[in-house]
Amino acid sequence: MTTPNTLISLRITDEEVALLDARVGLDGARNRSDVIRAAIRSFLEDQPLLPDMDTITIPVGRSMKSILGDLYELHGISHQQAASQGLQDYVRKIIQEEASLNEILAEGLEVARSKTVGRKEFTE
């Protein structure tokens, strides 16, 4: 038994129609309606859980898609979890690099100050 559905209509450009038509036959889409339903479903399901959260989309190639699939199959780690962990690791690395650079700059400044000769009129 099929699920009841509602007919809606919308206006889109010829370019958007061409893009829709290009997706027909991919990922099980038999027609434009299937492509539009999948796009709407994806949009609605990928919304952030909380109002202050944001969603990003990362295009991946075949090789990375395969690796992410293997990662999920072997370890149960979803592509969202892998991407989130990668972002956290990247931010942590950048913060550590910045802290290291600040230390080097502070040491250089300290050395430069120690080499500066004080003038008599500025010392008591």
Average pLDDT of adjacent 10-residue blocks, the chain of 124 residues: 81 91 84 88 82 85 94 93 94 96 93 78 62
Going from the C-alpha of 84 to that of each of 4, 55, 65, the distances in angstroms are 37, 11, 16
pTM for the model stands at 0.52
- Confidence at residue 38, expressed as pLDDT on a 0 to 100 scale: 87
- Confidence at residue 61, expressed as pLDDT on a 0 to 100 scale: 94
Domain residue ranges of the chain, discontinuous segments joined by +: 7-55, 58-116
